């Protein structure tokens, strides 16, 4: 066992790759199904991905006790919370940078961290020293991360390990990808290189590695929801690695998180598809062309912004259709409200398209 002030080297981590073959096959099949749904979806998958991306940011922040309301996330394209928008931009920029350079660097980690605190003026943000490695000793529960003088050395070990792929050449992507994600994420958290924001950077790293292996046909695969729903076990499993180089149980747990997240994502797409089919079938039963078109526009808007105000909805409808009267709008909206699960949020001016919110959240 290493000295309590030091961390084991990443190359010394122990695991038996044969333990993960069966779960990796499950992951491969589920990614196939997920990709198939995304490829043949008859609705705007970019919109769906954007909503999932916003909730990835929200869930990642929520793991650290930073709450953002559904109203803030679903009433506009850009949430007002800087911590959400910063997480989104940090994740997107990290993925774009990797796709250009195909290499991990210390600067890329520093940039991820700096972006998390961009334009935030608070004591916490100042104390986080955005874009700089930790300069003070830290203690996380019973774990003593490396002293500041050793942080850069451990980060270089992690980065070299991430960039070195030759040892994994004989293994298929669906096996090596989740194992590398699990080890890299845990080891980064053990280094704890920043004064604050390590969890968020560590979860961005999960997405970054996942997407570098192209298991998903779209640019993003998110896992923070699965971590959030298994938060206690997640921290317990991480804690077991404080002075333990045996990562077998941690990797098995992490693979289960991936499988759970894939099941969730597939369910989201299935439910979206079922709702879309119901909407289209209902619209076909509408006799009036004017009312059919009007209801279609209303449903399109409230599906995109499932938490909305009547003012914004009217602005969208009347700006795009001067022939519609207020009376016709009211009738169409009341019909839709009665037919679908649309309720007014208590003590606010907002309505909620509950079926859509349930799918996304």
The closest alpha carbon to 158, from 188, 138, 133, belongs to 188
> How far is CA 17 from each of CA 165, 170, 230, 241, 290, rounded to the nearest angstrom?
15, 12, 24, 18, 62
Cα(231)–Cα(257) distance, integer angstroms? 11
In the numeric block, the tokens 């991306």 are attached to 53
The answer to whether residue 23 scores a pLDDT higher than 60 is yes
The annotated binding site is made up of 196-203, 234-235, 243
In the numeric block, the tokens 């997920």 are attached to 34
Do residues 267 and 34 touch, judged by C-beta distance below 8 A?
no
Mind listing the pLDDT tens digit for each residue in 278-322?
Answer: 888 989 998 999 999 999 999 888 888 888 899 999 998 888 666
Mind listing the pLDDT tens digit for each residue in 208-258?
Answer: 898 888 887 666 677 888 888 898 999 999 999 998 999 999 999 999 999
SS3 state at 143:
strand
Architecture of domain 286-360: Orthogonal Bundle (1.10)
Mind listing the pLDDT tens digit for each residue in 123-168?
Answer: 777 778 889 999 998 877 778 899 999 999 999 999 999 999 888 8
Do residues 81 and 94 touch, judged by C-beta distance below 8 A?
no
Domain ranges of the chain: 10-268, 286-360
The closest alpha carbon to 273, from 32, 34, 43, 30, belongs to 43
C-beta pairs of 325-333 under 8 Å, 24+ apart in sequence: 328/290, 328/291, 328/294, 329/294, 331/291, 332/291, 332/294, 332/295, 332/298, 333/298
Do residues 227 and 203 touch, judged by C-beta distance below 8 A?
yes
**For residue 2, what pLDDT is reported?**
46
pLDDT confidence band for 1 (50 / 70 / 90): very low
The annotated binding site for ATP is made up of 196-203, 234-235, 243
Percent of the chain with pLDDT over 70: 87
The answer to whether residue 104 scores a pLDDT higher than 90 is yes
Strand order in the sheet with 350-353: 307-309, 350-353, 342-344
* Averaged pLDDT, 7-28: 95
DSSP string covering 253-289: HHHHHHHHHHHHHHHHHHHHHHHHHHHHHHHHT---H
Do residues 158 and 108 touch, judged by C-beta distance below 8 A?
no
Token code pair at residue 93: 């920029």
Cα(190)–Cα(238) distance, integer angstroms? 8
In the numeric block, the tokens 């998110």 are attached to 222
Of 9, 113, 143, 192, catalytic:
192
Phi, psi dihedral angles at 118 (to 5 degrees): -60, 130
Tell me which fold the domain 10-268 belongs to: Fic-like fold (1.10.3290)
Cα(307)–Cα(74) distance, integer angstroms? 6
Cα(298)–Cα(279) distance, integer angstroms? 11
C-beta pairs of 64-67 under 8 Å, 24+ apart in sequence: 64/199, 64/200
Token code pair at residue 351: 């309505």
**For residue 119, what pLDDT is reported?**
82
Specify whether 113 is catalytic: no
* Averaged pLDDT, 260-270: 87
SS3 state at 226:
helix
Question: pTM of the full predicted structure?
Answer: 0.84
């Amino acid at each position: 066992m290493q000295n309590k002030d030091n961390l084991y080297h990443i190359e010394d981590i122990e695991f038996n790759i044969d333990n993960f073959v069966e779960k990796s096959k499950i992951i491969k099949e589920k990614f196939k199904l997920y990709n198939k749904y995304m490829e043949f979806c008859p609705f705007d998958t970019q919109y769906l991905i954007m909503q999932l991306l916003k909730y990835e940011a929200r869930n990642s922040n929520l793991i650290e006790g930073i709450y953002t309301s559904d109203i803030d996330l679903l009433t506009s394209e850009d949430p007002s919370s800087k911590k959400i928008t910063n997480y989104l931009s940090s994740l997107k920029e990290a993925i774009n940078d990797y796709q250009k350079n195909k290499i991990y660097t210390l600067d890329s980690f520093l940039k991820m961290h700096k972006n998390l605190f961009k334009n935030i003026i608070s004591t916490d943000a100042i104390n986080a020293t955005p874009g700089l490695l930790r300069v003070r000793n830290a203690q996380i529960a019973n774990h003593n991360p490396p002293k500041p003088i050793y942080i850069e050395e451990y980060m270089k070990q992690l980065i070299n390990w991430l960039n070195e792929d030759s040892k994994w050449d004989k293994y298929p992507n669906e096996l090596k990808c989740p194992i590398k994600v699990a080890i890299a994420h845990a080891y980064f958290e053990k280094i704890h290189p920043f004064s604050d924001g390590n969890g968020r950077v560590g979860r961005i790293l999960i997405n970054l590695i996942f997407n570098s292996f192209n298991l998903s046909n779209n640019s993003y695969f998110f896992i923070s929801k699965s971590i959030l729903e298994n938060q206690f076990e997640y921290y317990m499993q991480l804690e077991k690695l404080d002075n333990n180089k045996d990562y077998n149980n941690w990797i098995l747990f992490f693979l289960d998180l991936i499988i759970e997240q894939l099941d969730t994502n597939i369910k989201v797409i299935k439910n979206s598809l079922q709702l879309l089919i119901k909407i289209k079938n209902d619209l076909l039963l509408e006799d009036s062309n004017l009312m059919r078109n009007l209801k279609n526009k209303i449903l399109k808007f409230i599906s995109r912004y499932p938490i909305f105000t009547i003012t914004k909805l009217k602005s969208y409808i009347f700006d795009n259709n001067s022939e519609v009267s207020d009376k016709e709008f009211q009738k169409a909206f009341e019909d839709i409200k009665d037919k679908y699960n649309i309720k007014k949020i208590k003590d606010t001016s907002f309505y909620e398209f509950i079926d859509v919110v349930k799918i996304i959240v």
